[in-house]
Amino acid sequence: LTQVRHITAAKQRLRKKKSRKPMTPVTSKLKKTKIKCYSSFKGRFRIMNDGQIRRWKAGKRHNAHSKSKKSKRRLRQPGIVSLAYAKVMKKLNFTG
């Protein structure tokens, strides 16, 4: 003997309704949560007027005696974050 499942007409209609996509966009009734920005970014980076992100160069904190005057002078100047990284930082909700 084999067991056969009979689906009523009402259940078939329900299945069709569930599979169909809604015609109008569904808006959530839940409260939208704000994403916190990475607070460490605030002290390390700034957005300049042209939209680029300014950063400070690494390598100036210690062992300065072994570095040349020229390299120490270069390290004092701020650098600019490359476009690829800047795009990722903006996705991470960077607010400078």
CA–CA gap between residue 45 and residue 77 (Å, rounded): 14
Range of the domain at 71: 35-95
Q: The whole model's pTM is what?
A: 0.57
Q: Is residue 14 part of a domain?
A: no
In a domain, 20, yes or no: no
Any domain includes 52: yes
Does any domain span residue 87? yes
**Is residue 28 in a domain?**
no
Spatial distance between the Cα atoms of 85 and 37, rounded to a whole number of angstroms: 16
Answer yes or no: are the C-beta atoms of 89 and 53 closer than 8 Å. yes
Per residue in 40-67, pLDDT (tens digit) is 888 899 999 998 999 999 999 999 999 9
**CATH number of the domain bearing residue 80:** 4.10.410.60
Residue 22: alpha-carbon gap to chain centroid: 29
Each residue's pLDDT tens digit, 10-51: 776 776 666 666 556 556 666 667 777 788 888 899 999 998
Domain count, the chain: 1
Q: Given this model, what pLDDT does residue 59 score?
A: 92
